[in-house]
Amino acid sequence: MIFRDRTDAGRQLGARLRRYRGRPDVLVLALPRGGVPVAYQVAKQLGAPLDVFLVRKLGVPGYKELAMGAIASGGVRVINEDVVRDMDIPGEVIDAVAADEQQELARRERAYRHERPLLEVKGRIVILIDDGLATGSSMRAAAEALRKQQPARIVVAVPVSAAKTCDEFRGDVDEIVCAIRPEPLHGVGLWYEDFTQTTDEEVRELLERAQQQHFHAASHALQVERPAVQRVSEGRRNYPEEGNHDYTSPIE
């Protein structure tokens, strides 16, 4: 299977996550930038709010590809104690690298979210989305940072992943959904007909559109609910002998 583009990938991924549709405790978080168009389609299908979750790797000075930790949205810092201990990295070095990366993270926060605060994560089912997993290092850092904010459940979902990486995530998160698991992967972009880089402007536009759609959907649901509550109340006034009943039904 090859996806036409990230929009097509998001629609197909959303179909695999339909058991979460309509749940008020679900939140979709995207890793920008490529994960946003995918996550937008998933959030749209599930009727869930969408936000970005930014992660910046803390590279070891002189060995940038080796992560000694990461910082993420919400002021979260994760340290790889094994790397720090094995390479005897002093705390002031970690702080200096984190300060530099925090500036870039803050810039992206302003660019994508403007003044909107990060959506509440604690106690919610969080579906964390990117456009694909190769080594999975950024997603792994995101999941670890997200765990510190105490979500009820972390679900990592991607359209395409290396089979080995997908399997490795099973021990790191509550659920992993990989739509396709080609072996060998060679590269995430090879599984898209159009893998054009997502721009900052596209990220902003999709986040704003998702926010408006979710607001209108919530407003419509409230308008539908109010007359129903009024009818039930009126019915109870007509039948005072009726006992108390629990009309709450479990969410599937």
Asked whether residue 143 is assigned to any structural domain, the reply reads yes
Asked whether residue 202 is assigned to any structural domain, the reply reads yes
Across the range 219-230, mean pLDDT stands at 50
Number of domains present in the structure of the chain: 1
pLDDT of 105 > 80? The answer is yes
Among 79-83, 151-155, 156-160, the least confident range = 79-83
Which of residues 160 and 113 earns the better pLDDT score? 160
| Nearest of 34, 42, 47 to residue 17 by alpha carbon | 42
Quickly list H helices, the chain: 6-16, 35-46, 81-86, 91-113, 137-147, 163-168, 200-238
How far apart are the C-alpha atoms of 151 and 128, rounded to whole Å? Answer: 11
Asked whether residue 190 is assigned to any structural domain, the reply reads yes
Binning pLDDT at 50, 70 and 90, where does residue 236 land? very low
Q: What is the pLDDT of residues 32-81, one digit of tens each?
A: 999 999 999 999 999 999 999 998 889 999 988 788 988 888 788 888 89
Domain of 151, in residue numbers: 6-215
pTM: 0.79
Asked whether residue 231 is assigned to any structural domain, the reply reads no
Which of residues 170 and 113 earns the better pLDDT score? 170
Across the range 188-215, mean pLDDT stands at 92
Asked whether residue 230 is assigned to any structural domain, the reply reads no
Asked whether residue 36 is assigned to any structural domain, the reply reads yes
Asked whether residue 153 is assigned to any structural domain, the reply reads yes
Q: Which CATH number do you get for residue 190?
A: 3.40.50.2020
Asked whether residue 174 is assigned to any structural domain, the reply reads yes
Output the six-digit token pair for 164: 């080995």
